Every structure is written in structure tokens, then in C-alpha cells.
Amino acid sequence: MGATIVEKIFSSRCRKPVSAGDVVMAPIDRAMIHDITGPLAIEKFREMGGTKVFNPEKIVTLFDHQIPADSIRAAENQVMMRKFAAEQEIFHYDLFEGVCHQVMMEEGMAEPGELVVGADSHTCMYGATGAFATGIGSTDMGFVLKYGALYFRIPDSIRLEVEGRFPYRVGPKDLILSIVGDVGADGATYEALEFTGPTIEAMDMAGRMTCCNMAIEMGAKTGIVPPDATSWEYLQERKEVKPFDLASDPNAHYAEFRHYEVDSLDPQVAMPHNVDNVVPVGDIEGTAIDQVFIGSCTNGRYEDMAAAAEVLGGDAFSRNVRVIVIPASRREYLKTLRAGVIERFVEAGALVEAPCCGPCMGGAFGLLAPGEVSLSTSNRNFRGRQGSAGAEVYLCSPQTAAASAMYGIIIDPREV
């Protein structure tokens, strides 16, 4: 029996053949903490008797959820993390680069075949490069900071094969929403989702990140795309790295196969209050909205902003809608700015903020009042996610977000 890409990564890291279901102690190639989860991880590191981290060059400390600090408590946490980074001589540390997952990717902090963990559930996004990347709790991260390794039960894999060409103004976010709706919020619990097929192979890195980012919304341990020319080129623009072959064997065992075709895919929307409550946009067209958020680690890249701007054209956003636009990183912000897209958004009436998580987790700004409705390009719409538990959050693509922001109602972007 052959091996899946996930089994091959763990076999390589453990230096012995291992298979799905095995429990192993595996060495970690990179560990990331941010301003929400980091303080607790540091506390656990201390409680375990930690004095020096296992390798400061393999630890990344980022600030994105509540940056700039929006409360005294947040400011205190950030002081703690800055002191820890200085004390431990952690080189990969910053205050202003943007959303942690985007920064990890664009700085080349996750490579094919590596085992990467982050104290944040959407760490699975790094699987877009062919790394096994997964989110862990702060207590587990405290262990990693001290020992540089962690116990894993190697997950089974679900192979998702995608074929076809995206229709006009339909893209990766619509695809992954449709997959979440099909698989369900717990349909891939503790399994790896392997994205394959001609559509994935033709997809740029921004789209692959969007798909892998939302693997966790199905309960998956990770999402992963086998590395190819697209992923190697992306990495080689950022660091010296030599391509090698890494793919599942033709006779590898999968827990499940699922096939999807995008040729006739409609724009998708996840309705409150569950990510898998997905319908075609036409089913809820006309729903009034109060706020639109374009950004997050799911859809805050230049490609997402450009897609939204294409729908907007020379028009303006509705004066009845608060439109918040946040590029995912400083690099993506500058790219969007230099292309004139930021200017277009501001002219249209949007509030464009510095790179950060923003309204995504309801912890900083852009909060919703009871009864308000948000349409967001982010990844979660749980009750209370973006403010009041009495508000509602819908999830969609950048194209659907831009079109809806123009009219003040949820609308099919193909109609604009």
C-alpha cells in the first residue's frame, strides 16, 4: 500500500515509516504565536519549567488580532510578548506586518514537507505550500516552545478532486464554501483534506490559501495541496529552496474520495450561524445588510481586492452600508495601494484600515450591534463572532461582497 502526502511528511519528520492512526512524537519545523494566544502559551512554557525556547530561529511571534492595542489588557499582553521575544532572542518578531497566517506564507515560513504549528486554528492555511500545518492550543504550544516537538495522531486523508473552469465572477471562495456545505462542519473531523485535480492545479497561490484556510471549518486537522511549479515558484521568490517531488502515491489509502466540478458553480453564501449553512446567492438575494467586510486571512490578498474592485468599477458603495476593507499584510496593502485599488475603495466610500484581523473575530473594531447584518469575506459566522450575539453574519466571496455593498442587499455579482 502506498502513502498519502501527509503520511510521507510524518515519516520524513519521524525518520521511520508511519501510517494514519499511528501516534508519534514529531519534531516541529516552525511554531507561531500571536497576541491573543501567545501570552497563555508563554505562561504554560514557564509553568513547565521553561527557561529557553527550543530554537528561537524556529519561533515566530506576530501581532494581528488586537493591533494597535484596543484595551489596557491587550497592551499588557503585547508588552509581555515583546519582552519574551527580546529575552529569548526570537528573530522572527514584528508588530505591524499584518495577519499572522498571511505573514507566515509570504515570508516563506512554511515549506513543502515541513511540520508547522500555530496557536491559531487557521494555521492550516500553510498547507497551500505542501506543508503539514495545523493549529494547536496554547498549552500544547507551551510544550512546543520548550521541547520543539509534539504528539500527533497521524490523520487519515480525504481526497478532494476538483475539475472545471470557474464561471464569470465565481472563484476559490465559492468553491470552498460549497465544499464546506457538502462535507459539513464536522464531516472531516481530525482528517486531512488533500486538494487535487485540474482546477486546483490551475489555481494561483491566493486561491489555494483560501481553500486550505477553511479546512478547519469542516473539523479537519489540515488542508494541503501537493507542491507543484506554482508553489515552488511562490517560495523561490521569497527564499532559496530547491524543488523536490512530494505527492501521494497512486495506491495510497484514503478515508474518502469526493469529486467536485466548478463549471456550473454559482456564487455561494454561508448563512447564519454556521459555516456549513451554505446556499447559492440567488436563494437569499435581496437580504438587507448593514456592514461589509473585505479582508481577513481568507480573502485579504491583492487578488481578492482586485476582484472586488473589478466588480465595483467606477461606482460607489451604498451609503446605507459600512464597508471595511483590510489588506491581510503590509506587503499586500502596498501592492493594492500601488495598483490604485485602495484609492478606488476610498473614493467609493470604504474605510480602509491597516493590516490586521479587524472585525473577523470581533475583538478590535467594526463590531455589530444587535439586529445588524454583516456580509464578510472571512471564515466564520458563529453567533457573536463579529460583535453582538443578536447580530447575523453571512460569508461570501470578495466579488459578492463588493456587489452587495453597492446595493445594500445581498446580490449576485454577475448581475452588476
In whole angstroms, what is the distance from residue 397 CA to residue 416 CA? Answer: 15
Q: How confident is the model at residue 74 (pLDDT cuts 50, 70, 90)?
A: confident
pLDDT at 213: 96
Q: Domain 268-415: state its class.
A: alpha beta
398 Rama class: left (phi>0) / alpha (psi -120 to 50) / beta = alpha
Mean pLDDT computed over 344-363: 88
SS (H, E, C) 282-307: HHCCCCECCEEEEEHHHHCCHHHHHH
Indicate whether 152 pLDDT > 70. yes
Q: How confident is the model at residue 211 (pLDDT cuts 50, 70, 90)?
A: very high
Name residues whose C-beta falls within 8 Å of residue 226's C-beta, 6 or more positions apart in sequence: 5, 130, 194, 196, 246, 247, 248
pLDDT at 415: 92
Q: Domain 5-243+254-260: state its class.
A: alpha beta
pTM of the predicted structure, to 2 decimals: 0.92
Domain with CATH 3.30.499.10 in the chain: 5-243+254-260, 268-415
Q: What is the pLDDT of residues 14-36, one digit of tens each?
A: 999 999 999 999 999 999 999 88
Q: Could you tell me how far CA 187 lies from the centroid of its own chain?
A: 19
CA gyration radius for the chain?
A: 20
177: exposed, middle or buried (C-beta count within 10 Å: 0-12, 13-18, 19+)?
buried
Indicate whether 93 pLDDT > 70. no
